[in-house]
Structure 1
Amino acid sequence: MPDPKSRGRRRKLNATSYVVLGMLSYSPATSYDLKQWVANTIGNFWAFAHSQLYDEPARLVADGLVSETVEEGGRRKRTYEILPAGREALREWLADTTADQTEVRDLGLLKLFFANFGGREDLVRLAHDRHRSHKARADSYAEQRDELVDYADRWQVKTIELGIRYERCVEQFWADFIAELEEEQP
């Protein structure tokens, strides 16, 4: 049975659809612009193939949610702009419940789970690598927050603050684990 909120749309929208609609709500953009904006903002916490940002706008045009303007001559650059129906689809999505569980895909945790089959030196290296990685990312987020705080809206700043907290928490986990390993040294 079709989603009653879809109001005749041909397909169900996905997360990438809403990324594009949300970004276009700020300003019209080309697919390249979208890729750049996403890489510097939500790409920090929502990973997906950036090639999707080149395909999805055309789908949203076909759905009647976005308009497309093609540059005459030259590279025939396509600029996309959100339509009122696209803004309404975005509002409906924002109003919908968000009960999905957070997905954690951390290669370090996966390796830690199977560490029994490796050597101690591999485990120590893993702990140090992951600690450095999460510290670097938290530091980078803190720098981004400092840059954003003067011009971004408060909800964008809140997303980066959660990123900092998450990375600091995981950084501390690995620091504690390193300390455990050092106490156990033979």
Structure 2
Amino acid sequence: MLSYGPATSYELKQRVGRTVGNFWAFAHSQLYDEPARLAAAGLVTQTTEKGGRRKRTYAITDEGRKALADWLAEPTLEQTEVRDTGLLKLFFGVSATPDDIRRLARDRYRSHRARADGYDQQRAQIEAVADRWQLKTLELGLRYERTVEQFWKDFLDELDRDPP
């Protein structure tokens, strides 16, 4: 995130929340701990505000940009991990009531529709300022959410035709 410009840990948290936080979950504490570790490794610099709250601002170094480039060049062969509580509950649905299954499907449909709608709004807000690769990640997120939204909609229709 520092490759986009210097930031405090709080600013990093804001950037992540609007961008990669949509598809890469991690503890917010990492945004406070990791910059100090990267500074100690020489991958970022740290400047501390003289007065006030003594905020620390981090900036990527040339060595940090090289490490980022090396990481980007590494093969990415691992499987995508899907951790969806709705799917997990559906898997164990044999132990649920028909009302629980219907509620699950309705809630998941609404959730994915809302997230996809949010991505549509986000795209409209950032299209003029985001780079091509950021827009591609948003496009995949939108496609994913619309596909999963449609799955739950189809499942709701199936439950209407053939109740459990």
Does the TM-score normalized on the shorter chain lie above 0.5?
yes
Q: Counterpart in 1 of 2:132?
A: 154
Shift of 1:58: 0.2
| Structure 2 alignment gaps of length 5 or more | none
Distance in 1 (alpha carbons) for counterparts of 2:61 and 2:6: 10
| Structure 1 alignment gaps of length 5 or more | 1-22
RMSD: 0.9
Percent same amino acid among aligned pairs? 66
- Asked if 1 retains the 8 angstrom alpha-carbon contact of 2:98 and 2:163, the reply is no
- Asked if 1 retains the 8 angstrom alpha-carbon contact of 2:5 and 2:59, the reply is yes
For each residue in 1:46-74, what CA deviation from the matched residue of structure 2 results, as whole angstroms up to 9, or x when unmatched? 11111110000000011111110011121
Q: Counterpart in 2 of 1:134?
A: 112
For each residue in 1:117-170, what CA deviation from the matched residue of structure 2 results, as whole angstroms up to 9, or x when unmatched? 110000000000000000000010011111111111011011101000000000
Q: Counterpart in 1 of 2:58?
A: 80
The size of the alignment, in residue pairs, is: 164
Query: Is residue 96 from structure 1 mapped to residue 74 from structure 2 by the alignment?
Result: yes
Give 2:107's aligned amino acid: D
Tell me which stretches of 4 or more aligned residues in structure 1 moved more than 6 Å.
Answer: none
Match of 2:24 among 25, 29, 46: 46
For each residue in 1:9-68, what CA deviation from the matched residue of structure 2 results, as whole angstroms up to 9, or x when unmatched? xxxxxxxxxxxxxx1111111000000010011111111111110000000011111110
How high is the TM-score relative to the length of structure 1?
0.86
